[in-house]
Structure 1
């Protein structure tokens, strides 16, 4: 069931119109990177390290060249590419930059690290060539956990990173916080870990590169959320002007953050095409995607919270360690997860005193990239566990304890120096709980207990900072500061509209929602608007899609540009009628004279702008094209939600069955509520995956445990619950449309809600679980303890 707002003014904003992308995608006419076929195309695959840590003593590619069908094989010494290095503008005592070689040279730092590229006439010959490569290593002791990395005398992953620490920051140390803990009526602690995960987009990474002699430009088609960043890094690594590199992103089958950083393989593919002057394609296979691609999520928290006897949250103290793998990702660096957790951990609660230390630790594992939610699923899990534990110690209902501490007056500036814009924190909690009670789940839980069954109800409350502008990113002291986005809105002679955007859809329905924004602003039919994205030749610059920024920032740029175009259309019409601009207004695909109702259609006005420009007044230039940018000047916008879930634990198997899932979310103005529902449900599925299923572990030699779907457990439709989504709407004052981002919220709230429900069901056992994923073995042992 979905409760959605309805537009009352005939506007397309707030309307659940059908997705414009679907006819193409569901009929198999989508065009993805691997679909690209070019004359003379060659195929690339990578020789990868088979050890987690070692010095390369010999790399022999001569046998590779003897394999039938192999055209070339290149090592780092052959291609001589500049390292990819992401930096923060922080002292070396806080942050250590580490270059990531595009191909490993003398040192390998994780199993699967690329050492050389093999280029062949077909994919099978490329695979055979990879197998023929001969590599010898002087093995080093691998570092396979954060605890091992931080141990005294630990092997160094990077010689320049003492104590294997890439980032170490202490923030928000409120004066007198120790005294607050000493005098508090109740202090509760949580020690928790979360499993390492793969973002697992349906489409793996891939790239097709081709040199164009006519345009003197390298064209790189790739599955990326950040085409302009790929262009910047590719040009730098290859020693080319950026204008000589064009990055194109066609349809993309998911990204979830994995593709919002620059990968090494796409740069090497481009270098091979440049060198051979032939098209080269690389498509990542699933084994490499699971083991050697960017991963995420592995974090550990030691946290404690102080509460008064009346249940008021007094202080929060946390030590956060994030296992970021072997390298910093570009452009966000290894600081992305610990700094996200540090700055936003107070979440939706009033907090007088706060102290946090956060570290990014390097290990001999595939490097981490942002993954949907970026630390928020983890710290929300920690904070919500602290509230559950405090409620038990205080003898209070956990929902009531949350009520007493939720932020209710806005704007609210927290102890973390972040200002939260208006939201519906209390309203979402109340509606979620009331829905659960109205459906009878509390009564069912009591009846189940009497029957010896184990049912539990769990909640999580959270906010999601969305629409990070340059101000928010600059606070992290990033050397590369993302933020703004640019849109061009261009009307052709027929009166149809083309919208370009620097954001990049990988399933979020930009072709629909951005068209809705532009069409609503100009009074056009949706079918007359086309959205272009993912081409660095068409868009001046853009920061791509991540951090729930697309509609809030990219959509705001679209609306600004559309508004400017509407103003020009009105100016042309006013000139044709020889009246002041104030006497005309936009109508439906036309400009209307306010006094007599006369109209000039957009096509008629476009005819003047393009084909009869001599009729334009001197202050107006020919053509109908407007460009606008947008950046959030505040700390960001804050969506919020409450998740509630009901689980049943099955003795013997330890299975956790989700019986009910309710989400009450507020993302400001929902441009398309049906799209929001899809984002929410997909995010919850990924959050459930982290709570109950997905985890990559490593053996003592640094070999990953999950090399296929036989080993990496992913929830199917059978394990994914039906989700009821209820919409609240608190329009944002800082975006052009009133919209806030929503892409990550489902993932953020789900782990805590599921874990709290599991612990509620375990109440009779006396066992409490704080870490995820919760495995059947753990649940079965807990239930056996009860019996």
Structure 2
């Protein structure tokens, strides 16, 4: 690898610089929330409901309170008496009739009812985890069991209300698009392709479970919360302003090293909120770390849609209109961004890469007695892509067309493109990544491979997925008009030290994406200094400017741009300092490769000298400039970014056993300009693994009668292992984003978006069946392969 510290003329942009953060992780030097041990540390354990739906008639904590080591016990009644509010939802959706969505209370500890298995009923604080667990078992709760609402398809008007104030269990009934245009197009269609399917519920499984450690300090009447979270400023805002009624200045949220999130750590959860409130009552720090069984029951789940879709086509295979009806599960409570996932983040992507003239989607969101459902890697975009790409593949088969040809015939080819569902794609070249993927996957050689497999008694199939996603939610004013209750900007601060090294403070947050390396590459390239001279700081509301965190593949396009804007301010001030030092006009100063130069001369001064002058201003234009070299910036994007790509999956099925082998998976993506190819490839690999996990193995299942989670351990919830997956072949094309200075688009979710339909399209091709439900388990595949589905 190129030594960038010695060869400064080689830009770090586009280089596969090794991740700097990995050394501490691999040597055990990382600090996760559970590693934080505070003076006087106590431990919290939550008593959780064994029932999916029940009234709480009484709670007796007397025996538990007398147990060894118990410091305190709190119930919902204690929080109600203290006037602690419920957890808020961050996005307001209106139904088709204009009425706002139903927002029943989401108490920090259950009050009156429990609404899913695992709902928190009491918090036990003790000197040790073991003592807290033992005491929790002594709490006596008298429950009146109620009929649970579990089945998503029949939840609306089920006859049993999850929330008494929402009798029909319908949170909202939303519509988007042009219904009249869609109806008119269907009336003229040559062919209508119809599919009904479920986008299966998933349990997020980050390597590090959720954790929190809260402490109250009397001398400043303030709270500090260490928490495994993806956006600490949002956590602080929601908790302080909307739940606990505290000034933000009195709450510091620190998200140290976080071992994965995938969306599940974006949200404000009851547990950390309860710990912050209780820490003042006990006067000591309280730590809680979820056990894996708790995570299965209480982490916000993902997906869980039931959908019917219809695609109208003309005789030549041109798409005329798409009609969609989806029922989306909210679970027992509205999680932080739950309402936006099956609406704004889903229906707006139903155009895909295609110039479908008219689209109309109806989404009915319902409450059920299951864990809350919210954003999970991709958040609405995987659900939209699965629908679109399954419909396109099925339509090609209905018309007897080649699946590649039907896509080419309908691709958007002129940009910018305004889709019928409200997005404007600024740039792209969909044929380019399809062409490259066809070549890399050797699609031309597939018939021979299929024949060879058949000779061995195996079935081969090929599946395509041409996805597009919207990343870096923006702009704030448009998002606000669509119901967002927060801004969607990002902040960056660049602090140049007297020696010329740089510390960057970013409102974005890294939990596995490699920001400490990628952001340093961007700053080093702009300033012409070694990557090693740039430090990245994130995850601490006490140190960084107000930012919106990490989700939706926004970090580089939004957070990186904020940093670039701050660097530009540093350079602009540096030019003025250099002009004074070089006795030249500001307008004649150029900055390149870490040096300020007088244009057309050999007079120059290095960046480090300018930095030192800013802090040791002996020869300084004090009449014009303040000392120091420290700048910050906020960036609110003018549009989303639109990564796109083609994924091609090839599978082989053994009809005797139902075993499906992914023999090849090719992903060719357009992420715009790429800062670190190695990190991008890693993000794509991880996303594909999660997407194939959903398609092949994963699925959260509740018992319809009792509401118990039947897939509550790794014995029952199967995630992909190394031998379930091939080595993925990844490549890329480049059409730079037109509205951020880096030209980047976002890569973190793409693999999870494009891979599920590619796999199912390949599997249905191999088995010559119209559809197969995810996850495509051995039994389901065996039944389909042997005509027993």
For each residue in 1:545-583, what CA deviation from the matched residue of structure 2 results, as whole angstroms up to 9, or x when unmatched?
011111000000011101110111111010122211232
Aligned 8 A contact 1:680 1:743 in 2: yes
Query: How many residue pairs align between the two structures?
Result: 775
For the structure 1 residues 136 and 117, does the alpha-carbon distance in structure 2 shift closer, same or farther, using more than 3 Å as the test? Answer: same
Question: After superposition, what is the alpha-carbon deviation per residue over 1:215-235, rounded to whole angstroms, capped at 9, x for unaligned?
Answer: 442110100011011111221
Residues 32, 250 of structure 1: 8 Å contact kept = yes
1:78-118 CA distance string (max 9 Å, x none): 23321112251647735112221111111111010111111
| 1:520 alignment partner, SS class | helix
Cα separation, partners in 2 of 1:472 and 1:751, compared to 1, 3 Å: farther
1:400 aligns to 2:405 (yes or no):
yes
What CA distance in whole angstroms lies between the structure 1 residues aligned with 2:364 and 2:248?
Answer: 35
User: Could you report, residue by residue, the CA deviation over 1:501-525 in whole angstroms, capped at 9, with x for unpaired residues?
Assistant: 1011110011011111111111110
Shift of 1:212: 2.9
Match of 1:305 in 2: 311
Q: Which residue of 2 aligns with 1:83?
A: 86
Kept after mapping to 2: 8 A contact 1:167/1:335: no
Measured against aligned partners, the alpha-carbon deviations of 1:288-312 in whole angstroms (never above 9, x if no partner) come to 0011221111111100001111110
Q: Is the 8 A contact 1:464 1:639 kept in 2?
A: yes
CA separation of 1:594/1:216 partners in 2, compared to 1, >3 Å: closer, same or farther? farther
**For residue 688 of structure 2, what is the aligned residue in structure 1?**
684
Structure 1 counterpart of 2:784: 782
Pairwise CA distance, 1:734: 0.7
Partner SS, residue 469 of structure 1: coil
Aligned pairs for 1:143-222 within 5 A: 143-150=149-156, 152=157, 154-222=159-227
Quote the residue 2:110 is aligned against. Answer: 104
Matching of residue 493 in structure 1 with residue 495 in structure 2: no
Shift of 1:47: 0.8
- The answer to whether the Cα contact below 8 Å between 1:484 and 1:542 also exists between their aligned partners in 2 is yes
Per-residue deviation at 1:426?
A: 1.5
Q: Specify which of 390, 395, 403 is matched with residue 390 of structure 1.
A: 395
Aligned with 2:110: secondary structure? coil
CA contact (8 A) 2:52 2:117 kept: yes
1:623 partnered with 2:638: no
Out of 359, 362, 368, which is 1:354 matched to? Answer: 359
Q: Is residue 25 of structure 1 aligned with residue 17 of structure 2?
A: no
Note the C-alpha offset of 1:16: 1.1
Distance 1:269 1:473 in 2: 35
The answer (yes or no) to whether the contact 2:58–2:142 under 8 Å persists in 1 is yes
1:15 aligned partner: 15
| SS of structure 2 residue aligned to 1:147 | coil
Q: Which residue of 2 aligns with 1:4?
A: none
CA distance in 2 between partners of 1:575 and 1:270 (Å) = 52
Deviation at 1:677, TM superposition (A): 0.5
| Structure-2 separation of matches of 1:347 and 1:420 | 10
Choose the corresponding residue for 1:756, options 751, 754, 761: 761
SS for the counterpart of 1:555 is helix
2:699 maps to 695
1:42-121 matches, within 5 Å, as 42-79=42-79, 80=82, 81-86=84-89, 88=92, 90=94, 93-121=99-127
Q: Deviations over 1:694-720 (max 9, x none)?
A: 111111111101221111111111112
TM-score normalised per structure 2: 0.95
In the TM superposition, residue 475 of structure 1 has moved relative to its aligned partner by 5.9
Q: Distance in 2 between matches of 1:541 and 1:110?
A: 34
C-alpha distance in 1, partners of 2:401/2:60?
Answer: 67
| SS of residue paired to 1:338 | coil
TM-score, normalised to structure 1, is 0.96
Which of 457, 462, 475 aligns to 2:462? It is 457
Q: Which moved more, 1:87-96 or 1:545-554?
A: 87-96
Shift of 1:473: 5.8
Listed as ranges, the gaps of 5+ residues in structure 1 are 1-6
State the match for 1:509 in structure 2. Answer: 514
Distance between the aligned counterparts of 1:273 and 1:344, measured in 2? 44
Contact 2:92 2:339 in 1 (8 A): no
User: Among residues 258, 261, 266, which one is paired with 1:260 in the alignment?
Assistant: 266
Pick closer, same or farther for the CA change 1:648–1:438 going to 2, 3 Å. Answer: closer
The worse-fitting range, judged by mean Cα deviation, of 250-259 and 435-444 is 435-444
Matches within 5 A, 1:251-290: 251-290=257-296
Q: Name 2:662's counterpart in structure 1.
A: 658
Distance 2:219 2:654 in 1: 66
Q: Is the 8 A contact 1:273 1:279 kept in 2?
A: yes
Q: Which of residues 767, 772, 775 in structure 2 aligns to 1:773?
A: 775
1:738 corresponding residue in structure 2: 743
Which 5+ residue runs of structure 2 have no aligned equivalent? 1-6
**Aligned twin of 1:580:** 585
| Distance across 2 between alignment mates of 1:216 and 1:578 | 53
1:18-49 CA-to-partner distances (Å, cap 9, x unmatched) read 11111111111111000111121001010111
* Alpha-carbon distance in structure 2 between the residues aligned to 1:679 and 1:223: 20
Q: Tell me if the contact between 1:643 and 1:753 (Cα under 8 Å) persists in the aligned partners.
A: yes
Deviation, 1:173, is: 2.2
For residues 774 and 174 of structure 1, the distance between their equivalents in structure 2, rounded to whole angstroms, comes to: 34
Separation in structure 1 between the aligned mates of residue 219 and residue 625 of structure 2, nearest angstrom: 35
Offset at residue 781 of structure 1 (A) = 1.0
What CA distance in whole angstroms lies between the structure 2 residues aligned with 1:723 and 1:476?
Answer: 40
Aligned-residue Cα RMSD (Å) equals 1.9
Separation in structure 1 between the aligned mates of residue 594 and residue 742 of structure 2, nearest angstrom: 20
* 1:690 Cα deviation from its structure 2 partner: 0.5
Distance in 2, matches of 1:511 and 1:597, equals 35
Q: Which residue of 1 aligns with 2:229?
A: 224
Q: CA deviation digits over 1:433-469, x for unaligned, max 9?
A: 2222268334201322244311111110010101111
2: distance between equivalents of 1:432 and 1:157?
Answer: 47
- Structure 1: distance between partners of 2:383 and 2:194: 15
* Aligned equivalent of 1:649, options 631, 653, 666: 653
Q: Relative to structure 2, which stretch is displaced further, 40-49 or 154-163? A: 154-163
Q: Does 1:380 align with 2:385?
A: yes
Deviations along 1:115-153, one digit per CA (max 9) or x if unpaired, are: 111111111111112212111111111000212312x45
Distance 1:340 1:603, change over 3 A: closer
